[in-house]
Structure 1
Amino acid sequence: MKNDLVVMDNNLIRASYKLTANEMRLVLCALAQIPKDAEVDPGKAYYITKEDFVKLGVEPKNVAREIREACSELLNRIVVVDTAMGKLKFHWLHSVLHFKSEIFERLKKEYPNSKNDEEFIQQLRKYNLLDSLPIIAKSDDNIVARIVFHENMIPYISQLKEQFTKLNLKDVFQFSSFYSFRFYLMMMQFKETGFCKISIAELRDSLDLNNKYQLFADLKKWVIDTAIDEINEKSPHTVGYELIKKGRTYTHLELRFKEKKAEIKTVKCPNTIDMFEEPKDTFIKMSDSQLDTFASKLADLGEVQAMANVGEEMPSFKARLRSILKDPEKQKILIPYLKKLGFKP
């Protein structure tokens, strides 16, 4: 890709849709090629190469398969955007190059080596599976996908002057979850403030979850934690979150994030306790009454509730917290929350 910058209208950032990780990669690779300051021909085709996908973390040996998978269902994908007139529903793409698997597999057996790619491409053209690209000087041997965006998509991806979000593709290198891509895009919408708040209902709608992950513990584990963990591990930002509760129901998700600072290595005296570490010998012995009281209070904290197992009932969760408080090895993980409750050792 000549340009790694993707620009999207904020309405598209919060729109409702569901893609696979590979489909998201394909869309982003194409969006990066759209001119940022010129009118776009709605019928223009965008070509995604093996190299483009490898830049987004796909293993080179798997890249052809990954792109074929991305092409297979993308034409059927729908996006729903909130407008002043109501919800606008349309397809992402007008057309996509879709390999006929039986022909592709037969030809690939005839031309299995990369040195034969040019011959392989020429054979694909005979079956109208690939366009001839006279503007490209080389043999086009890396061209494996061709997509044309739906005309209704153009206002949300072209000539944007206000209310838009920028994303650098290098920031999402190696993301493997669709949820990570979506969370990161939402974060970049509020990059200046480092704070993003979204209702749980809106989050479910944006990710097109329908009846999936009805239990909040499942939503937290398989969607929220999956995305946050991957963003922290693989992006240039660190992000934390807080779940906002009304009564016994979680209503909102708050994300706070910032760019990672360059790691500075320091030499520390072995006897020095890091300011962010709990001393190893600070076990707090509690009476049975204190154990019951603080286990109950801890269970009411949103940050602690995030530790609950999927499907775990409150009585069981409180009993587990009590057991942790009683364990000299495990108690330290709850010390910060005890201090938050005003407990002073």
Structure 2
Amino acid sequence: MKKEIIVKDNALINASYNLDLVEQRLILLAIVEARESGKGINANDPLEVHAESYINQFNVHRNTAYQSLKDACEDLFVRQFSYQSLSEKGNVINHKSRWVSEVAYVDNEAVVRLIFSPAIVPLITRLEEQFTKYEMQQISNLTSAYAVRLYEILIAWRSTGQTSLILLNDFRRKIGVLDTEYKRMYDFKKYVLDIAIKQVNQHTDIIVAVEQHKTGRSITGFSFSFKQKQTENKSSNLYKKLSLELSSSQIKLFSKKLSQLPEMSKYSEGTETYDEFAVRISKMLEDSTKLKELTPLLKKVGFK
């Protein structure tokens, strides 16, 4: 099964915004469309998301998909998000922007056409090491918008497996709860946090636990720890297969293919050509540790 990758700047992952489930899915499908088609994302050209893609990815009824996408177009146009950055003098800049500058639904074609706003384009498109990557498949079975947001927030901390303390008001904004919603902690936990954690644990590749932090008797924040789920021995079996069957000609072939992948950018030295990069990748494939590390990308470029 083809793996579709979502890439977002952590400034966007950590942004405070409120999108419903269909709107989040629409945004993610647009990102995938830009990457898979090679069209890329800019502030001028529309991206197309077909209802068929929505149906197949999220396993929803056809009629439901048509109406949901049509409604999402109406709501998405007025949605805003906020995030912070630092000025050249080190001062905090508080940004607010819309998600899209234009969105349209083509009735007879069941197609959404959208153009991301100028402010959001660089947050989605720059592929740097601080970005969070995850497979679309990980959120395909999540039916709570809060679960999608929680998963995004958590995997930004994948390298450590735990978050820092997130104050309650910050967490509410990050996960997309309005100030007027679920004011009682009992309701917030029952209808937001507990459902999100349950769905993440059931349907994604991580298991998460939450710790409450109190000031006196009141809960004032949360922190999360999580770990990768144990998978079957498919990866180790594939690695054994790779180490046994990756011939010198295959190393040469796949080194060239890997050199073109955006996901390989973190291994690049920046000034080298693709051919020079491919030569260095071939050396990496001869190293057992690096070979294991690059196995998922080898599968992506066609190794079977």
Distance 1:3 1:46 in 2: 20
Post-superposition shift, 1:9?
A: 0.9
**Matched residue, 1:63:** 65
Summarize the alignment of residues 15-94 of structure 1 with structure 2, pairs less than 5 Å apart.
15-35=15-35, 40-54=41-55, 55-84=57-86, 85-94=92-101
Q: Which amino acid aligns with 2:154?
A: M
Tell me if the contact between 1:3 and 1:32 (Cα under 8 Å) persists in the aligned partners: no
Max Rg structure? 1
Distance 2:19 2:41 in 1: 24
Post-superposition shift, 1:173?
A: 1.3
Distance 2:232 2:168 in 1: 34
Tell me if the contact between 2:3 and 2:137 (Cα under 8 Å) persists in the aligned partners: no
Distance 1:261 1:201 in 2: 33
Distance 2:184 2:14 in 1: 23
Secondary structure at 1:66 match in 2 = helix
Of the structure 1 ranges 74-83 and 240-249, higher mean CA displacement relative to structure 2 is found in 240-249
Q: 2:196 aligns with which of 227, 240, 263?
A: 227
Q: Which amino acid aligns with 1:251?
A: T
Distance 1:80 1:257 in 2: 26
**Matched residue, 1:176:** 143
Distance 2:5 2:102 in 1: 23
Summarize the alignment of residues 112-123 of structure 1 with structure 2, pairs less than 5 Å apart.
120-121=108-109
Tell me if the contact between 2:151 and 2:200 (Cα under 8 Å) persists in the aligned partners: yes
Distance 1:28 1:144 in 2: 15
Tell me if the contact between 2:18 and 2:177 (Cα under 8 Å) persists in the aligned partners: yes
Q: 1:210 aligns with which of 179, 194, 197?
A: 179
Tell me if the contact between 2:42 and 2:118 (Cα under 8 Å) persists in the aligned partners: no
Q: 1:192 aligns with which of 155, 159, 164?
A: 159
**Matched residue, 2:208:** 239
Distance 2:171 2:193 in 1: 10
**Matched residue, 2:117:** 150
Distance 1:158 1:196 in 2: 25
**Matched residue, 1:302:** none
Distance 2:177 2:122 in 1: 22
Deviations 1:195-230 (A, max 9, x none): 123221210222252132221111111111010011
Summarize the alignment of residues 318-337 of structure 1 with structure 2, pairs less than 5 Å apart.
none
Post-superposition shift, 1:74?
A: 0.5
Q: Does 1:167 align with 2:134?
A: yes
Indicate the RMSD between aligned Cα atoms, in angstroms: 2.5
Tell me if the contact between 1:57 and 1:175 (Cα under 8 Å) persists in the aligned partners: no
How many residues align? The count is 224
Distance 2:177 2:193 in 1: 14
Post-superposition shift, 1:88?
A: 0.7
Tell me if the contact between 1:56 and 1:169 (Cα under 8 Å) persists in the aligned partners: no
Tell me if the contact between 1:196 and 1:255 (Cα under 8 Å) persists in the aligned partners: yes
Tell me if the contact between 1:56 and 1:174 (Cα under 8 Å) persists in the aligned partners: yes
**Matched residue, 2:4:** 4
Post-superposition shift, 1:244?
A: 1.4
Say if 1:65 and 1:235 are closer, same or farther in 2 by CA, change over 3 A.
same
Post-superposition shift, 1:40?
A: 4.3
Q: TM-score, normalised by structure 1?
A: 0.60
Distance 1:157 1:238 in 2: 26
Tell me if the contact between 2:105 and 2:111 (Cα under 8 Å) persists in the aligned partners: no
Post-superposition shift, 1:4?
A: 1.2
Compare the two structures and name the one with the higher helix fraction. Answer: 2
Q: Which amino acid aligns with 2:72?
A: A
Tell me if the contact between 1:3 and 1:33 (Cα under 8 Å) persists in the aligned partners: no
Q: TM-score, normalised by structure 2?
A: 0.67
Secondary structure at 1:87 match in 2 = strand
Deviations 1:104-161 (A, max 9, x none): 5xxxxxxxxxxxxxxx44xxxxxxxxxxxxxxxxxxxxx5111110011112111232
Secondary structure at 2:186 match in 1 = helix
Secondary structure at 1:244 match in 2 = strand
Secondary structure at 1:196 match in 2 = coil
**Matched residue, 2:294:** none
Distance 1:226 1:217 in 2: 13
Say if 1:208 and 1:89 are closer, same or farther in 2 by CA, change over 3 A.
farther
Unaligned runs of 5+ in 2: 87-91, 234-304
Say if 1:144 and 1:179 are closer, same or farther in 2 by CA, change over 3 A.
same
Distance 2:58 2:228 in 1: 20
